[in-house]
């Protein structure tokens, strides 16, 4: 008997009619990139998880890249990442020209070890990216303390932790920026790909919104070099 590891069609079957209705409505509206539906999802996501801002993007990988860009991280900088994570956590660092520095994981949680991360900090370190694996939060309170002590940014990779909490606070609300994925196999998966960024900062919110549309505002006036992540 063949039992598929992922059966994406089955997990969405009970929502089929509702989803098709909504797809038809969006199709008829002609709003295929950003638009009111994305704005509504951003607002509902932020409200449900008690985030100040939520900014949609094309994927969880783009969310990580945009977070690094918004924080101004680039060549000559180092970013601490866990040795056990999906490739995108480290590749996003490489894509902005910075150096990913791998730190060991906690053998019980498989999440980034605060102790080992602390030992990897140098004068070039600009940020730490703790990853919340398997729906389980990393020790984000310790990473926030570590970041404050050394003047670092914290980017939470919460692609696998939508709705997870640490000390009553949702994943994605502890750091400077939270990064989420809606890839179909994630715990909040979509029919396709998608991502979300969360932040409490007015400045970062405005920069993230700008960077995801080629740095464009108003239309065809480009303030910075961004990416296409609508």
Q: Is residue 22 part of a domain?
A: no
Q: Is residue 221 part of a domain?
A: no
Q: What is the number of structural domains in the chain?
A: 1
Residue 14 clears pLDDT 90, i.e. is over it:
no
Residue 181 lies in a domain: yes
Band of residue 11 on the pLDDT scale cut at 50, 70, 90:
confident
Q: What is the pTM of this model?
A: 0.94
Judge whether 84 lies within some domain.
yes
Residue 6 scores a pLDDT above 80: no
Question: 143 and 163 in contact (C-beta within 8 Å)?
Answer: no
User: Is 102 contained in some domain?
Assistant: yes
* Cβ atoms < 10 Å from Cβ of 150: 14
Which residue range(s) make up the domain with 90?
A: 56-201
Give the domain CATH number at 65: 3.40.640.10
pLDDT in tens, 129-183: 999 999 999 999 999 999 999 999 999 999 999 999 999 999 999 999 999 999 9
Q: Does the residue 23 lie in any domain?
A: no
Mean pLDDT of 40-44: 97
Q: Is 107 part of any domain?
A: yes
Is residue 207 in a domain? no
């Amino acid at each position: 008997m063949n039992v598929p590891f992922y059966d994406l069609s089955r997990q969405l079957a009970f929502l089929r009619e509702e989803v098709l209705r909504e797809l038809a409505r969006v199709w008829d509206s002609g709003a295929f990139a950003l638009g009111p539906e994305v704005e509504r999802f951003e607002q509902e996501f932020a409200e449900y998880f008690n985030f100040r801002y939520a900014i949609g993007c094309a994927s969880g990988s783009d969310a990580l890249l945009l977070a690094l860009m918004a924080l101004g991280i680039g060549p000559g900088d180092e970013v601490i990442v866990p040795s056990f994570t999906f490739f995108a956590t480290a590749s996003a660092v490489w894509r902005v020209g910075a150096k990913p520095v791998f730190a060991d994981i906690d053998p019980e949680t498989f999440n980034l070890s605060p102790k080992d991360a602390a030992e990897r900090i140098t004068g070039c370190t600009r940020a730490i990216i703790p990853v919340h694996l398997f729906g389980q939060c990393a020790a984000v309170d310790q990473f926030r303390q570590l970041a404050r002590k050394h003047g670092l940014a914290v980017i939470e990779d919460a692609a696998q932790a939508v709705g997870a909490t640490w000390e009553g606070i949702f994943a994605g609300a502890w750091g400077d920026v939270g990064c989420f994925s809606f890839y179909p196999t994630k715990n909040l998966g979509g029919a396709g790909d998608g991502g979300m960024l969360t932040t409490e900062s007015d400045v970062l919110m405005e920069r993230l919104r700008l960077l995801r549309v080629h740095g464009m505002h108003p239309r065809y006036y480009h303030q910075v070099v961004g990416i296409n992540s609508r």
